[in-house]
Structure 1
Amino acid sequence: MSDSFVARSLDEIRFWSRIMKEHALFLRLGFRCEDTQLIQEANYFFALFEQIEDQSNTFTLEADPQTIINFNTEVYNAASGIWVFKRKVLGLVLRCQLPGQNNFPLLIDHVSREANYFRNRLRELNTGTLEPLPDAIIDENVFFLRIMADHAKFIGHLLDPSERKLVAQAREFSHDFDQLLFQAKDLESMRPQSQTYPLLDQFLDQNRVSVKSLRDFKKTARELIEACRIKSIIHPLLADHVFREAERFLTIIDMFEKHLNAQARKK
């Protein structure tokens, strides 16, 4: 195991454990007062991922790889647990067994997709089965483009309807990212023939432009919400949460661009 394995594992866990912790909070806030069992389960996962987040920060890049393998396995089990919880809640909502709760079905599905992504990444790291770069570029973008499209939809629905200009902007971003997702799915179905340097490079460039615009919109919305300058039912932490995920996507795009250009120079 190399130092990069330790660094990559800790980076994934530090980012996604905080995301999972916040998912538990957001779900809990959407439950009804009488949903005491679900609230208790959400509180359990909040505390669990807070402990994981704290523990991850005690490790350094010099940590023993076997220790990190064991830690990854523990976190994988926790991510699997919260994924099961989220899918259970989704089933209850879709069967109309939680009337009056405030978690959109798409939001519950959204957070469960992120839990599944997290646990799959931990398994890939532990088994050394990370995808080749061309596949990773397409698959990561398909995943994150859908996440960004979802975010735009949630923002549009959680803003007060009287915030007409911001709602219209959110809808425009939703449409833009739906189109980018469709394009990514087309590129996905055309592989391996589509995995040429020019196509992948253009793919990353185009997505970067749109993600930066959405990131900036989220940043502005977060600042307005924190200053109580717009009308919405968006929790300030949720505004920051979606901003951080856009930042994460941009970091991944930049990383892919760097590796893609390095490979092109070698040829």
Structure 2
Amino acid sequence: MKEHAFFLSLGFTADDTELIREAQQFIAVFERIEEQISNYNETTDPNVIRQLNIQVYQAAASIWAYKRKVLGLILRCQIVSNNIPLLVDHTSREAAYFAKRLKELNEGKLIPLPEAIIKENVFFLKIMADHSKFISHLLDPSERKLVDQAREFSHDFDQLLFQAQDLDHMRPQSETQPILEHFLDQNRVSVVSLRDFKKTARDLIEACKIKSNIPALLADHVYREADHFLQIIDAFDEHLTTQST
């Protein structure tokens, strides 16, 4: 969330002083929360964790509202920004997801495994597809091979997303576990390829070897999100394996 605020602040024009100020305030809020968490020394006190979740939920909900406000200003042509609408919408979806997960944790809600697997994959496949589109958009057009690769990833993840949405509508139950296992395996292959592409792009950007408008922190940000998605896939796969034994 802190990095989202930073990326948005970079995209505003010099005239958007109030929006830049708000973004900087969110950076400070999430930095304070990071510092606070670092002082907890891995506490397992449920009351401390519950209060932390409430605090972070409020911050996530606030930055979600800010992002939706920015998106509305862009769509109504009230501001001209280098923050493309899909990027702002993308970051707002991640804030909503984060806030929802914190609320579910505090309420002790557990989604049935088959439904959880599909819904998490629907969310993150859309995130991966968006990332591919952002990369192709922010690369210099002369980087033709990288642009083509990013567009291929965009198409691949759009197709995986449509497939996941179809499966979501079918609402498979636990007895359809082989379908879910194949679903995860298929997604893992594509996410590994995209993660490795992002890592290569990040390393090239950091070494100033390619031409783009992509900050090194943004390149690292999208790489980390792909790596996180792989961890989620592996965790679901482990749960399925445990259930079958």
1:150 aligns with 2:130: yes
8 Å contact kept, 2:188–2:230: yes
- 1:110 partnered with 2:95: no
1:227 paired to 2:207: yes
Specify the SS of the correspondent of 2:142. Answer: coil
Equivalent residue for 1:55?
36
Q: TM-score, normalised by structure 1?
A: 0.90
Q: Quick one: which amino acid aligns to residue 263 of structure 1?
A: Q
Distance 1:107 1:218 in 2: 17
The one of 48, 69, 78 equivalent to 1:88 is: 69
Shift of 1:233: 0.5
The amino acid across from 1:225 in the alignment is: I
1:203 equivalent among 183, 192, 217: 183
Q: What is the aligned length?
A: 245
* SS in structure 2 of the partner of residue 96 of structure 1: coil
**Counterparts of 1:93 and 1:114 in 2: how far apart (Å)?**
19
Q: Are residues 1:64 and 2:45 paired? A: yes
Indicate which of 18, 23, 26 corresponds to 2:7: 26
Alpha-carbon separation, structure 2, partners of 1:128 and 1:172: 40
Match of 2:139 in 1: 159
Deviation (angstroms), 1:144: 0.2
Pair 1:259-2:239 in alignment:
yes
Matches of 1:241 and 1:82, distance apart in 2:
18
Give the CA deviation at 1:259.
0.6
Q: TM-score, normalised by structure 2?
A: 0.98
Question: 2:114–2:174: 8 Å Cα contact kept in structure 1?
Answer: no
Listed one character per residue, the Cα deviations across residues 99-150 of structure 1 (whole Å, up to 9, x for unaligned) are 2x10010000000000000000000000001212111100000000000000
Gaps of 5+ in 2: none
Equivalent pair of 1:187/1:194 in contact (CA under 8 Å):
no
1:168–1:130 CA distance, 2 compared to 1 (3 A)? same
1:75 deviates by: 0.6
Alignment RMSD (CA, Å): 1.1
Are 1:98 and 2:84 counterparts?
Answer: no
Question: Does residue 217 in structure 1 map to residue 200 in structure 2?
Answer: no
Percent identical pairs in the alignment equals 68
SS where residue 234 of structure 1 aligns? Answer: coil
Cα distance in structure 2, aligned partners of 1:195 and 1:227: 50
How big is the shift at 1:159?
0.1
